[in-house]
Amino acid sequence: MKKVFFTVAFLTTLMVTAQSTWKSDGAHSKVGFGITHLMISEVEGHFSDFDITATATDTFDDADFTVDIKTTSIDTDNDRRDDHLRSADFFDAEKYPSIAFKTTSFEKTGDKTFALNGDLTIHGVTKTVTLEGKVNGIITDQRSGKLKAGLKLTGTINRLEFGVGEESASIGNEVDMTIHLEMAQQ
């Protein structure tokens, strides 16, 4: 009887901690940012072309993210500003077409929260950053029978440390990132 109990407990532990691949659902996810303008207001924008993949448990107690964001897809609701942001003055999207992030460590900080450390590469410069994460919920999709997870990642970076633009009185240096994700288990 002890052997049966041990075997069942062991198999259950393996199933609970098993990692699977998750993909972002582009229609229900958003990679957004905000930056101070003229030191009195905030301009928000987002990137519309991105691929976010995670390897995680069914409960997102541990996750390893890989992110690829296309710099040409920047959208601040102002075509002239977007073209300037794509130019060599800022992202230089022709030379640096992607922003990349890769997890280096994951730390659970609460029941549904975590700290995600990783290497962020923008404009050819890689720096270690920490993103705060929250699992909003996990459900079983009725159509696919697979799990879906809602997540929110937030963090702040200094754009000058990545060589994006120059010091300016008209725009802030700190960029607040907010990433809303709906991830589908594959």
Alpha-helical (H) ranges within 18-165 are: 79-86
Cα–Cα distances (Å) from 184 to 24, 65, 71, 78, 141, in that order, read: 6, 13, 24, 32, 9
Interacting residues of 151 by C-beta distance below 8 A, sequence separation 6+: 60, 133, 134, 135, 136, 179, 180, 181, 182, 183
Q: Could you tell me the sign of the dihedral formed by the alpha carbons of 80, 82, 86, 88, in that order?
A: positive
The structural domains of the chain, with segments of one domain joined by +, span: 19-185
- Ramachandran angles phi, psi of 113, nearest 5°: -120, 155
- Residue 3 has a pLDDT of 55
Label the pairing between strands 98-108 and 63-70.
antiparallel
Provide the pLDDT for residue 4. Answer: 45
DSSP-assigned letter for residue 28: G
Residue 17 is predicted with a pLDDT of 62
Considering the entire predicted model, what is its pTM?
0.88
Q: What is the pLDDT along the chain (186 residues), one digit of tens a residue?
A: 555 444 444 444 444 468 999 999 999 999 999 999 999 999 999 999 999 999 999 999 899 999 999 999 999 999 999 999 999 999 999 999 999 999 999 999 999 999 999 999 999 999 999 999 999 999 999 999 999 999 999 999 999 999 999 999 899 999 999 999 999 999
Tokens encoding 39: 């030191």
State the Cα–Cα distance between residues 171 and 168, nearest whole angstrom. Answer: 6
* Cross-strand partners of 36: 42
Q: List the structure tokens of 136.
A: 């909003």
The CATH T-level fold of domain 19-185 is Lipocalin (2.40.128)
Phi and psi at residue 6, to the nearest 5° = -60, -45
Contact in structure between 166 and 75 (CB atoms under 8 Å): no
Distance, CA of 23 to CA of 63 (rounded, Å) = 12
